[in-house]
Amino acid sequence: MSKALFSGNEAVARGLFETGVSVVSSYPGTPSTEITESAAGYAEMYSEWAPNEKVAVEVALGASIGGARAFAGMKHVGLNVAADPLFTASYTGVNAGLVIAVADDQGLHSSQNEQDSRHWARSAKLPMLEPADSAECLAFTKFAYELSEEYDTPVLLRLSTRVSHSRSLVTAGERADIPLKPYEKNPRKYVMMPAMAKERHEFVEARTLRLAELAERTPLNTTEENVNAKIGVITAGIAYQYAKEALGNNASYLKLGMIAPLPEKVIRDFAARFRRVVVIEELDGVIETHCKALGIPVIGKELFGYTGEYSAGLIKEKLLGEKPVTREYPEQTPPRPPVLCPGCPHRGVFYVLNKLKLTVMGDIGCYTLGALAPLSALDVCVCMGASVSSLHGINTARGADFAKSAIAVLGDSTFIHSGITGIIDIAYNKGVSTVMVLDNSITGMTGHQQNPTTGLTIKGDPTSSVNLELLARACGFNRVRVIDPFDLSGAESVLKEELQVREPSFIIARRPCALLKTVKSNPPVFCDENACTGCKMCMKAGCPAISMKKTAGKSKAQIDKTLCTGCGVCEKICRFKALMAIDS
C-alpha cells in the first residue's frame, strides 16, 4: 500500500487491524477516543464502547483468555478506573495478546489532571511502549502483540495528545490471519486466589527480569550518533521530536521506545560517551530518576520542569540560550475559553440552579463548562461520578438542612460510567441527596459517542437502552422526576419540591444535545429593541449568541442569527417580552 496521512490514533487502530486483533473494548476520553472510533470502521474487528474503563479492560482480558487478540483504549485518568483489573491481569498474563493503550494529556488540553501514566507500568510491573509518530504507532502496536504473547503479559502502549492527534505518513499493510487460540481451563494461571497468586507473583518478578533483558537489546530503543554532538540526550515519545527539532545534529540521542522496564546497560554505554547528558521527558522524571539511581549524572527536570507541554522552543532556550524573534499585537487579546454551545440543553439547568443559589457538586462532561462565567454554577468537580458520592458526603457532614440547597449534576454517560454506585450508596445509607442526570442522549464532550443510554451501538446499530427512571427506582429512589431543561419554570418547581423532601430524589433533565444531527433547530430569536430595557438578565444565560450593543446611546440585547438555535431559554428569562421567536 502507498503512504497516507494517519493520526496517531488512526495508526494504532490500523495496527490493531493488521495484527489480527478481533476484540476492542474502550471508554472514550480525549485524546484516546479516535483509536476505537477508527477501529469500529474495520468490519473484521468487534468494537464496542464499554460503560467505563474497568469494564473495557475486563472485556479485553476475557477475550485474550478466550484466545483472541484484544485491545482496550483510554485516557490517562481512565487507567486509574481500570487499575484494579490491570494489576491482577499482570499476574494472570494472557492467552492471546492483550494491549492497553493509555493516552496522557500533557498541557491539560481536555482533562482534569496531568498525571503521568508511566507510573502505572512500573507499579503493575508491565512493559510499556511509547511511539513518537504515527508510523511508530502502527509498528509499536503490532510489536506489542508479539511481546504480549511471547512474555505472557498485558502490554501498555503510552500515547500523548500530540502523538494521538498529529497526522503523519504511514505505510499501511494487510491484515494478518491470526486464528483464535485454543482455550483450556487453567486455574493456576487464571484463578487468582492466594495460593495461585503467590505462584504468579513469582512469575511476574521473573518476567520483569526477562523484560529488563529485552530492554537492553530491543530495536525499539535506538541510538542516533552525531559526530559534532556535544551533549547526549535521553528521551522518548513526543519529547524526542521536540529535542530533534531543537538540537538537530548538535546532540546524539538515545530514544527509548520501550519505557518500562528501562534498560541499564544501554543507558550507561550511551551516557559514558558524553560530558553532559540531558534527559528530556515531559511530566514526571521517570527516566531521570532511573538514571540517577544507577549513579549516572544527568540533568532534566531542573531545566524543564514537571508541568505542561515541552516544545522545541523551550529546549532551545534552556540548552542553547536561543530565543525566537516575535512580534506582539499592541493590545491585550481577551481569552476565549470554551463555552456551552448555543441551544445546549445544559444551559437552562444551570440558569435555574443559579437562580435557586444551590451548592452544585459537578462532574465531568460538557456541563463542566457551567463552571465558567457568567454561569459560574459549579462548586466542585473532581472525577467521573464524584458529583453523586461527594454530594452524599457533604450532605452527611453538613446535615439535612444543607441538603435542601445542594445538588449533584452529571451527564448520562458519566452516570453510567460511575454514578450508579453513588446513588446506591445514597439510598442504602438513608441519604437525602438530590441527584440530577443531564441526559442529552450522547457522550458530548469527547465528540459524540454512543453510550448505554442512547439505544445505539458504536456502529450505530439499534440496541437496548438503560431506562434511567427504572434504574433509579431499582436502586432505592422512590422519587424520580423528569424535566425538560428548556422549561425553566417547570424545572424550577420540580427542583424546589425535590430539594425540600427528606428522602433521596432523582431528577432527569432530558433533551438531546443541540449538535446531534437528529435535532432540528428553531428559527432564531430576535430582540424587539423598543421593549428591551438593557437589563442584561438574558446575559446571565451565558449564551454565545447574545450580546449587548449600543444603539442610540442605549444598550440593547442583540442576537447573532448565525449562532442562535431558537431554543427559547433567553425568551423565558426576559421579563419585558423583548426576546421573541421570529414566527410569533
Partner 1 sequence: MNIMIVGVGGQGTLLCSRLLGEAFVAMGREVKVSEVHGMSQRGGSVVTYVKCGDEVFSPLVERGEADLILAFEQLEAARWLPYLSPGGRMLVNTQIINPMPVITGAAQYPEGILDWLTANVPGSVTLDALKLAEEAGSPRAVNTVLVGAMVAVLNLPKDVFETALEKTVPPKFLKLNKIAFEKGFAAVSR
Ligand X SMILES: Cc1ncc(C[n+]2csc(CCOP(=O)(O)OP(=O)(O)O)c2C)c(N)n1
Q: Does position 219 bind partner 1 by CB under 8 A?
A: no
d(Cα 96, Cα 149) in Å, to the nearest integer? Answer: 6
Give the residue, chosen from 445, 472, 499, 567, that forms a contact with partner 1 under the rule CB under 8 A.
Answer: 445
d(Cα 316, Cα 223) in Å, to the nearest integer? Answer: 21
Pattern of binders to ligand X over 373-412, x per CB under 6 A? Answer: -----------x--------------------------xx
d(Cα 364, Cα 380) in Å, to the nearest integer? Answer: 10
Strand ordering across the sheet containing 276-280: 222-224, 251-255, 231-235, 276-280
Q: Between residues 239 and 340, which has the closer beta carbon with respect to ligand X?
A: 340
Pattern of binders to partner 1 over 499-528, x per CB under 8 A? Answer: ------------------------------
Q: Between residues 365 and 485, which has the closer beta carbon with respect to ligand X?
A: 365
Pattern of binders to partner 1 over 163-182, x per CB under 8 A? Answer: --xxxxx-------------
Pattern of binders to ligand X over 416-455, x per CB under 6 A? Answer: ----------------------x-x-xxxxx---------
CB of 80 to ligand X, least distance (A): 7
Give the residue, chosen from 87, 88, 110, 516, that forms a contact with partner 1 under the rule CB under 8 A.
Answer: 110
CB of 99 to partner 1, least distance (A): 22
Cell of 23: 476484540
Give the residue, chosen from 179, 219, 334, 553, that forms a contact with partner 1 under the rule CB under 8 A.
Answer: 334
Instruction: Indicate the angle between helix axes 134-151 and 8-18, nearest 10 degrees.
Output: 40
- If phi > 0 it is left, if psi is from -120 to 50 it is alpha, else beta; for residue 447 that is left
Q: Which stretch binds ligand X (CB under 6 A): 23-31, 62-70, 245-253, 351-359?
A: 23-31
Render 432-484 in DSSP notation, one character per residue.
Answer: --EEEEEE-SSBTTTT-B--TTTSB-TTS-B-----HHHHHHHTT--EEEEE-
Give the residue, chosen from 245, 265, 268, 474, that forms a contact with partner 1 under the rule CB under 8 A.
Answer: 245
Number of residues binding to partner 1, judged by CB under 8 A: 57
d(Cα 306, Cα 254) in Å, to the nearest integer? Answer: 21
d(Cα 343, Cα 98) in Å, to the nearest integer? Answer: 42
From ligand X, partner 1, none, interface partner of 373 (C-beta below 5 to 8 A by class) = partner 1
Q: Does position 414 bind ligand X by CB under 6 A?
A: yes
Render 362-412 in DSSP notation, one character per residue.
Answer: --SSGGGGGGSTTT---SB--STTHHHHHHHHHHHHH-HHHHTTEEEEEEH
Number of residues binding to ligand X, judged by CB under 6 A: 24
Does residue 503 contact residue 435 with C-beta atoms inside 8 Å?
Answer: no
From partner 1, ligand X, none, interface partner of 78 (C-beta below 5 to 8 A by class) = ligand X
Cell of 85: 483489573
Does residue 181 contact residue 96 with C-beta atoms inside 8 Å?
Answer: yes
Pattern of binders to partner 1 over 11-50, x per CB under 8 A? Answer: -------------------xx-xx----------------
Cell of 576: 419585558
Restricting to residues 555-584, name those near partner 1 by CB under 8 A. Answer: 562
Burial degree of 252 (CB within 10 A; 0-12, 13-18, 19+) = buried
The length of the chain in residues reads: 584
Q: Between residues 139 and 361, which has the closer beta carbon with respect to ligand X?
A: 361
Q: Between residues 77 and 262, which has the closer beta carbon with respect to partner 1?
A: 77
Does residue 514 contact residue 341 with C-beta atoms inside 8 Å?
Answer: yes
CB of 141 to ligand X, least distance (A): 21
From partner 1, ligand X, none, interface partner of 335 (C-beta below 5 to 8 A by class) = partner 1
- If phi > 0 it is left, if psi is from -120 to 50 it is alpha, else beta; for residue 543 that is beta
Does residue 157 contact residue 74 with C-beta atoms inside 8 Å?
Answer: no
Q: Does position 29 bind ligand X by CB under 6 A?
A: yes
Q: Does position 332 bind partner 1 by CB under 8 A?
A: yes
Q: Does position 85 bind ligand X by CB under 6 A?
A: no
Does residue 92 contact residue 192 with C-beta atoms inside 8 Å?
Answer: yes
> Interface with ligand X by CB under 6 A: which residues?
27-29, 75, 77-78, 81, 112, 364-367, 384, 411-414, 438, 440, 442-446
> Interface with partner 1 by CB under 8 A: which residues?
3-5, 7, 30-31, 33-34, 109-110, 133, 162, 165-169, 241-242, 244-245, 311-313, 324-341, 366, 369, 372-374, 445-447, 539, 542, 544, 546-548, 562
